[in-house]
Structure formats: structure tokens, C-alpha cells
Structure 1
Amino acid sequence: MSESSEWLIYRGAGEPHEGITRLPPPPPWRDFTGRDTSSHETDGDESADRRLGVHRHRAELHRPGAEELEMINAALYLRRPLLVTGSPGAGKSTLAHSVAAELGLGRVLRWPIVSRTRLVDGLYHYDAIARLQDVQVASHLAAPGTDPTADIGSYIRLGPLGTALLPSPTPRVLLIDELDKSDIDLPNDLLNVLEEGEFAIPELERIADRLPDGEAQVLNHEGAKVTVKGGRVQCRAFPFVVLTSNGERDFPAPLLRRCIHLELGRPDHQRLSTFVRAHLGEEAARAGDDLISQFFERSQRQQIATDQLLNAVYLTGIAAPQSRERLADLLIQRLDRPR
């Protein structure tokens, strides 16, 4: 095999082989280790590692600009959502993880938005079919007078928004990612919940007087049991809510006036270098400095994302030198090219 193809695992030769044993460890941002998620502490949070970088404490951390700092702190002080807009790869989602890590606010609750997303998807899910099946089975086994509503909380699981609004002494961080991909109604539907900081679970409200002390045990988004009283979830500390948008649509004025708006510009060379150091370490950043410079120049006239740069620096670091530049070009393709 030629030196330039030594890094290939799949060779396309049609002959089975054990090349998979040579596959190196995954890049840090794609390392899914299945670690324990029972703790809400930031230490050991694999999602934070993937977003902020496993070398972030040894890297020269990026210092946000004055406007960025002011808008983040304004949202914290005013208990208002922070609407972050900018091009793909500008660091919109990473901002939420950075705030959570620095302030010790636990794991970020992430709610990714698609065109089919409804408000209730973020609040809670009630598995009525499973409950009906269990009630039917229990009716043949239970003694007369048994209340089938007693365990209704087992069929209710809070979504990321519902979990963020649970009463707690310190705020949780909620990332509502790519809100501009939602249908036309979701931004307006969010208004009341974000303004009032509470919501009702009708399935629990209807039977609250039959529950012990009006309380039900439900699951939160992370799978832990929490108490809901009177069928309503009311926050104590308003969560730090980050709404991200790639600018693909405009939002209604009522939502905009309830948010603090931060526009992130394209990252400069220094920020790109810091980004690479945080994820891959100092040596990889030095070796990939030419790719960082080329990426920065291209980003001024093309739509490309910083995760493409990470992919290129990582893979060219383990691929044969002869294929380095061509491989980087293949990985960093403009996102707005004609399909």
C-alpha cells in the first residue's frame, strides 16, 4: 500500500480484512462514551466537553468582546431570554455551555427545533396509551376501590423547557437551538410561557384533589423524579434561556421585545486558533495554523462552519502528508454551494 493511502480503513477492494482495529480514537467532539449522567454537575459532562473542548482549561481561553459580555449579563440580570443570531459555526450554541460551565449551573438542557416542533414537545409528554393499557390490566387484578390515578406521574415526562422551569434556587441553562427552523406558530406560542415562567399540566390539574397533598411524581428531561404540585410547574429562578438562529427567518415583534438580542460576527483568526486549541490541544493548533489561516480567508467570502475546520485539522493530522491539502479542501466545502 502506498504511503498516501496508509490511513485508509475502508479500501474498497471487496476483500474482508481487520482494518477496523487500526481505527484511532474518535475526535473529542464525537466521543460518545456513555458516561454516567445521573449527576447534574458540570464536571464530567460529555456534552460540555464536545462543545467547549476537552483542552479548554489548558488552552488560552477566548475572551468575549465587550458587547457579547454586556448582552449575556443583561439577560442574566433581567431574567430575559437571550436571542443569539449569526452564521453557522459562530459559536451560538457554545455560548450556552460556556455560561453554564463558568457559573456552575449544571448540564445544559438542549431543545433542538425542527419544522414539526410544538410548544408541548418542550414542556412535557403524556403517554396516554401506555397508561390506558396499564389501567386495563390493573382493573383485572386490583382490589375494588383502587384509584387508577394514583400513579399517573409515571406516564408524564417533562421536556427540556418544562425541566428548566422547575423551581430551583439557581437557574438552569436552556438552549433552544435553531428556532428559525420552527413553523410560524412556535415563536408566538413561546411568549406566554417565557413571560410567566410557568405552565400547567392539564392531566394532573384535573385530578390534583385526588392526589396526596395534590402532588405527583413525574420524570424530568434527564430521567430523575421530581414533584409537581397542583398540576402546575412554576419556576423560582428563571432559567438562562439561549435562543439561537441562523437568520433564515424573521421573528415576530412581541418575541423580539421580550428578548435580549446578540449578533455574533464571524470568528477572527485568534478565535479560530483558540477554538482548535480547546478541542485538539496546542500542538494540533500549531500544526494546523496554515489551515486556520486559509479557513479564515475563505470565511470572509464563503459560508463555511468552524466544525469543518476542526474536522480538517484533526483528520489531516493523522492522514498521509501527500493528501493533506486535498483532504482539507474536500472537508471544507462551502455550505451555500449549488446542490
Structure 2
Amino acid sequence: MTTGPETSDPVGDWRIYRGDGRPHERVRRLPPPPPWRRFSPDETVPGRGRRAEQAISYRPDASVVDKVNAAILLRRPLLVTGKPGSGKSTLAYNVAYELGLGSVLYWSITSTTTLQSGLYHYDAIGRLHETSLRGVRGRADTPDPPDIGRYIRLGPLGTALLPGDRPRVLLIDELDKSNIDLPNDLLNVFEEGRFAIPELQRLPEEQARIHVMTEDGGPRVSIEHGEVHCANFPIVIITSNGEREFPPAFLRRCVRLVIEPPGRERLAEIIEAHLGAGARAASERLIEEFLARRADGALATDQLLNAVYLATSGSRPPEAELNEILDTVLRPIETPGAG
């Protein structure tokens, strides 16, 4: 016999999921997520989504601020190395938010990433297919060629190099995962601040100006004679987990920054920025526990934030259950000598 959802709700029970196989409506009581896990933008505050919350709450130390300024003034990429969860990627969003430079152009690197994928993509098959369709539907002998600009989309690096009165922020994430050639392939683009699109350079002179799509989905932009020249070098932040060495020629062209794990006071400031002064005051014991565990293995700052949120939110588990859950949340990512 099938029964409807259970409606009774024991007072003080923090669990949403019970695991007893009995349908219920407790998901309607799901509390608001932590600020760093809000995926829907707040329509009352433009740009306030998950990334904006992270950017606003990011608290770099003085050495990080100085290295960022050096890279901006020198128009050089900033190579940021640090443990996972140390805030390397969030730094880019923090810079873009503070300087009012719009959305961050994000380029995630894998072992198969090539320089061209960062510059532009040309959908030659799609254009050929449309040409064939036009030939079938119209005059097969002289079909009008489709607009090639509809089949070229600039990648994150290509979009960042578009000329403008203000620089864009480009995040090249986890470059150490790339193939061995990509860092060297980037050198000429970084030095020259420009690149060519051969498919457009081959067009006749009457098609010297073509409007193409961009990575961030904005209005199509004009490219003349198949070349993109930046007017202001973008603020390029490259992250690395330190899993490989980069070529000396590449390192020479970057400002290098190593983000060290935050200390006690910095952790307290981060907690307050995300969860408020009350959470900071109530988290002294958790900070001590976090620092002790971090000495024995790698822990990310967001693990501490998760622990503080569970311990201080209105839907917190009872004390007897909380300790076991916190032990799971604060489990080291890796231990010394592992791997």
C-alpha cells in the first residue's frame, strides 16, 4: 500500500534526509546555503552570485596585494602557485570585482588544451553544412556563402586581447595540467599582445572587416584583416598547484606569487567576511583544531568554513553528532609523503 508524504516533523531534528525510505516534505525546510554555495544570483544586487560572494569575501595578505599590483603595472601575467583550496582562482574574481572590470574570462586547462582553443574556434563543418543547404534550396551554381563570422568564436584568451579602453581579467586555471608545449606556445602571444586568424586573413579585401562571436556571449565584435591587437594588456592570472616545473623563458615573463596557507588571524578574518562577526567569535576552537590538523596534512580553507557553518548555523546538529561530522569535514586532503 502506497502512502503519501509524511507531514510530521520532530522538533529540533536537523536532518533533511533520513534514509528510512519514507517520503516526506522536509526538503521544503532546507535552510539557505552557505554564501559560497549560492548558485542563483540575487536579482536585487547585480552580479551577486556565487563567484561574486567569493570575490567580496576574499582577504589576501599584503604580499599578495603587492604582487598583483606589480603584475598589473608591468603588464605581465601573474603566476600563482599554492595548495588546492588556497584561493588562487578566487584572487582573479576579487581583482575583477574590486577594479570594476566585469566578468572574469575563464580558461580551464587540461592535458589536451591547445593555444588555438584559447584564442578562437572555427566551426568549419557547420559553415560547410550551411553552404550545402543554401545550394540545395537556392541556385546550386552560385549559392551565397554564409557569414563566416557566425562560425568563429573567440576563446577566453582571444576575447581578453580584444582592444578596449580597460583591460579584462583572464584566469588561466591549472596550467600545470597542460601538455609540455602550451607554456612556450603562450610566450609569443604574451609578448606581442596580438594574434591572427588565418581563416579571416584569406578572405578577399571586400571582406576585410568581419564580426565574430566572443567567449562571454556579448555582441559580436569587429575584426579587421584577420588580426586582433590588444590596446590594454589583460590582467592575466595563471594558477598552478605546483605539480610541474615551467620553462625558464616562460617564468621570466611572469610575476610569480606563492600563496601561503593563512594563519590564525587571517582565518578569523575570512570567517568573519563570509559568515559574520558572530561566527568569528564562536569559531576559536575550530580554528585551533583546523591548524592542528593542517600541521599533519593538507587542509583547504573552505573546509574550515564548512565546519564553522555547520557548527554555528541555525540548523546545526546536536553536539554529540556534530563532532563526528566535523571530523569528516576536516579530514586532510592529503598527508605528508602520500603519493
What is the TM-score when the length of structure 1 is the normalising length? 0.87
CA distance in 2, matches of 1:222, 1:239: 15
> Partner of 1:336 in structure 2?
334
Q: Tell me the amino acid that sits aligned with residue 180 of structure 1.
A: D
> Partner of 2:119 in structure 1?
123
**Is 1:14 paired with 2:21?**
yes
Task: Pick from 277, 300, 320 the counterpart of residue 282 of structure 1.
Answer: 277
Which is worse superposed, 286-295 or 234-243? 286-295
Q: Tell me the amino acid that sits aligned with residue 44 of structure 1.
A: G
**Is 1:148 paired with 2:145?**
yes
**Is 1:25 paired with 2:19?**
no
CA distance in 1, matches of 2:9, 2:322: 15
Aligned length: 324
The answer on whether the counterparts of 1:115 and 1:182 sit within 8 Å (CA) in structure 2 is yes
The answer on whether the counterparts of 2:36 and 2:51 sit within 8 Å (CA) in structure 1 is no
Within 5 Å, give how 1:64-103 maps onto structure 2.
64-65=61-62, 67-103=63-99
CA distance in 2, matches of 1:325, 1:298: 14
Deviation string, structure 1 residues 295-333 (Cα, Å, up to 9, x no partner): 123223310111111222223333213222221110121
Which is worse superposed, 1-10 or 191-200? 1-10
**Is 1:320 paired with 2:317?**
yes
> Partner of 1:44 in structure 2?
47
Q: Tell me the amino acid that sits aligned with residue 14 of structure 2.
A: W
Within 5 Å, give how 1:290-329 maps onto structure 2.
290-316=285-311, 317=313, 318-322=315-319, 323-329=321-327
Tell me the SS of whatever aligns to 1:203.
helix
Q: Tell me the amino acid that sits aligned with residue 91 of structure 1.
A: G
CA distance in 2, matches of 1:35, 1:155: 34
The answer on whether the counterparts of 1:4 and 1:321 sit within 8 Å (CA) in structure 2 is no
Q: Tell me the amino acid that sits aligned with residue 229 of structure 1.
A: E
Deviation string, structure 1 residues 164-219 (Cα, Å, up to 9, x no partner): 111011111111111111121211111111111111112212115241xx111111
The verdict on how the C-alpha distance between 1:139 and 1:45 changes in structure 2, with shifts beyond 3 A counting, is farther
CA distance in 2, matches of 1:22, 1:135: 55
Give the CA RMSD over aligned residues. 2.5
CA distance in 2, matches of 1:120, 1:27: 38
Deviation at 1:63, TM superposition (A): 5.9
Tell me the SS of whatever aligns to 1:328.
helix
CA distance in 2, matches of 1:269, 1:147: 67
Within 5 Å, give how 1:158-307 maps onto structure 2.
158-207=154-203, 209-211=205-207, 214-224=208-218, 225-307=220-302
Which is worse superposed, 312-321 or 322-331? 312-321
Aligned residues with identical type, % of pairs: 50
What is the TM-score when the length of structure 2 is the normalising length? 0.87
CA distance in 2, matches of 1:282, 1:288: 10
Larger Rg: 2
Deviation string, structure 1 residues 22-65 (Cα, Å, up to 9, x no partner): 222222222111678xxxxx952525424224xx4xxxx84632
The verdict on how the C-alpha distance between 1:169 and 1:254 changes in structure 2, with shifts beyond 3 A counting, is same
